[in-house]
Amino acid sequence: MKQGMAEGNSRRIFIIIVALCILYTLPVFAAEQAEEGKKVPVTKYWMSVSTINQTIPGMAEAMSGMGKMLGGMGGQGFGPHRELKLQLNSPRKLPADPQETHDIPPGQKMGKTLPLMVPEMERVTARPEEGMPSEHKFEKPKFRMLIYWGCGETVRSGQPKIIDTEKMSPEDFGRAFSGASPSPQYPPSPRSGWIYSDWPNRKSTLQVPSDSSLQGEHFVHGNYAPEIRFSVGEKHDFMAPVDFTSVQGGLEDSIRFQWQGIPTAIGYFALATGYNQQNGEMIFWSSSEIPDTAFSLMDFLTPGDVQKFIREKVVMPPSITSCSIPKGIFKDAEGGMLQFIAYGDEMNVVFPPKPKDPDEPWNPIWTAKVRLKSTGMLFLGQMEGMKYPRSRDSQPEEYRDALPEQQEPESNQEPDDAGTIRKLRGILGF
**Confidence at residue 170, expressed as pLDDT on a 0 to 100 scale:** 61
Is the separation of the CB atoms in 331 and 276 below 8 Å? no
Residue at 35 is within a domain: no
Quote the CA–CA distance of 176 and 294 in Å, as a whole number: 11
Quick: pLDDT tens for 18-76: 343 433 333 333 333 333 334 669 999 999 999 999 866 545 444 444 444 443 443 45
Quick: pLDDT tens for 368-393: 999 999 999 998 875 433 444 443 44
180, 186, 191, 193 alpha-carbon torsion, rounded to 10°: 130
Query: What's the whole-model pTM score?
Result: 0.75
pLDDT tier at 107 (50, 70, 90 boundaries)? very high
Residue at 124 is within a domain: no
Is the separation of the CB atoms in 274 and 344 below 8 Å? no
First to last CA, the chain: 94
162 against 317, higher pLDDT: 317
Quick: pLDDT tens for 108-140: 999 999 999 999 864 334 444 444 444 555 555
Phi first, then psi: give them for residue 361, nearest 5 degrees. Answer: -65, 145
pLDDT at 302 over 60: yes
Residue at 348 is within a domain: yes
Quick: pLDDT tens for 164-205: 776 666 666 555 555 678 999 999 999 999 999 999 999 999
Percent of the chain whose pLDDT exceeds 90: 56
How many CB atoms neighbour CB 108 within 10 A?
A: 23
Residue at 14 is within a domain: no
Quick: pLDDT tens for 238-253: 999 999 999 999 999 9
The CA-based diameter of the chain, rounded to the nearest angstrom, is 120
> Coil, strand, or helix at residue 341?
strand
Total domain count, the chain = 1
Residue at 25 is within a domain: no
Residue at 21 is within a domain: no
**Omega of the bond leading into 326 within 30 degrees of 0 (cis):** no
240: containing domain: 43-118+141-356+363-406+414-428
Tell which residue, 235, 273, 375, 257, has the closest CA to residue 321: 257
Residue at 19 is within a domain: no
Residue at 296 is within a domain: yes
